């Protein structure tokens, strides 16, 4: 296929059946498990969809004019995607990241011309948000896409991700997404409430104080403006260790090398499968590629050391 620019390749990601991960009792009930493999996008995360939608929205509104510069807080996934799509349109970009974001993601955005500003690692994602908003307030050259409050974030999942799932799997019963900005879960829920209300949207949420890279607990003091938790079937708490172990299991049983946030959605999908009705079809969002976490030990590192390496790196989606 031929395209004019990289933004045109986003979306249309596959559903891959990964029933081998289900417990025998679930398989015996005819339950099936599918990964929506978003990590096949240009930057290896579902944030490819979000970043393009955010930039398109700013351009449409006339806010991103010559002389302006994009500014966004990120732990890497949104930043990487913004870096790709900003570079493709020759738009300058500054990213505010917690100081302990993995080197793979730092190198990625630097290679695309982005400037990195560090925020305190011990303040996690909230610290990055506060610093970026202070910078934007103090300098009019900056324009913040602000995925936490911009309705273009959930909208892109409502009009692309969700319809893709229903088209590829009309008999879908459950979808599990990570809880970060709330964009993915909210967009999915809006669509299915309207088009197929029987589908339940579950959210994977870190336990308060737990550091699951890419996700956040609402109990830690910040609820994104775009999030509509009332549309969800529920939020299931998951810890970082279970997320890492699930990501490893996915890689070794299916060949899908995904990050800890995908591990979290998978862990929740497996919990939901325990009580699911016979013949249920469960989809989880494989939202982030695992290669970004090699330096933190995702592949075979000590679990305690990996948890420490990712401490504070929770900003996402």
Choose, from 125, 243, 261, 280, the residue flagged as catalytic: 261
Tokens 């308060």 correspond to 208
Helix (H) or strand (E) holding 49: helix 47-60
CB-based contacts of 198, cutoff 8 Å, min separation 6? 173
Choose, from 36, 47, 211, 292, the residue flagged as catalytic: 47
Cα–Cα distance, 255 to 151 (Å, whole number): 34
Tokens 């590192």 correspond to 301
CB-based contacts of 202, cutoff 8 Å, min separation 6? 174, 175, 176, 177, 232, 233, 234, 235, 236, 268, 269, 272
C-beta of residue 125 within 8 angstroms of C-beta of residue 72? no
C-beta of residue 9 within 8 angstroms of C-beta of residue 258? no
Catalytic (active site) residue 211 = no
CB-based contacts of 210, cutoff 8 Å, min separation 6? 217, 238, 239, 240
What distances in angstroms separate CA 259 from CA 80, 193, 299, one per listed residue? Answer: 15, 29, 10
Residues with catalytic roles: 47, 261
């Amino acid at each position: 296929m031929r395209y004019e620019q990289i933004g045109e390749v986003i979306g249309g990601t596959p559903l891959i059946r990964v029933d081998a991960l289900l417990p025998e009792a679930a398989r015996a009930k005819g339950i099936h498990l599918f990964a929506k493999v978003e990590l096949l996008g240009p930057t290896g995360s579902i944030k490819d969809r979000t970043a393009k939608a955010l930039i398109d929205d700013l351009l449409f509104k006339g806010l991103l004019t010559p002389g302006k510069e994009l500014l966004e807080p990120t732990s890497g996934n949104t930043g990487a995607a913004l870096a790709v799509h900003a570079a493709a349109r020759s738009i300058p970009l500054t990213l505010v990241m917690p100081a302990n974001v993995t080197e793979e993601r730092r190198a990625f955005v630097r290679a695309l011309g982005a400037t990195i500003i560090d925020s305190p690692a011990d303040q996690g994602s909230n610290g990055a948000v506060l610093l970026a908003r202070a910078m934007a307030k103090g300098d009019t050259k900056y324009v913040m896409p602000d995925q936490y409050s911009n309705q273009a974030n959930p909208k892109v999942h409502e009009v692309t991700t969700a319809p893709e799932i229903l088209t590829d799997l009309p008999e879908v019963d459950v979808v599990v997404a990570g809880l970060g900005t709330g964009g993915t879960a909210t967009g999915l829920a809006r669509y299915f409430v309207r088009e197929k209300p029987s589908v339940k949207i579950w959210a994977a949420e870190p336990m308060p104080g737990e550091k699951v890279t890419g996700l956040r607990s609402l109990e830690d003091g910040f609820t994104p403006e775009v999030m509509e938790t009332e549309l969800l079937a529920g939020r299931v708490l998951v810890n970082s260790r279970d997320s890492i172990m699930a990501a490893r299991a996915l890689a070794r049983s299916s060949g899908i090398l995904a990050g800890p946030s995908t591990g979290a959605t998978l862990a929740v999908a497996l919990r939901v499968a325990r009580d699911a009705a016979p013949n249920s079809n469960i989809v989880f969002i494989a939202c982030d590629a695992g290669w970004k976490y090699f330096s933190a030990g995702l592949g075979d590192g000590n679990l305690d050391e990996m948890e420490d390496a990712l401490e504070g790196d929770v900003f996402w989606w």
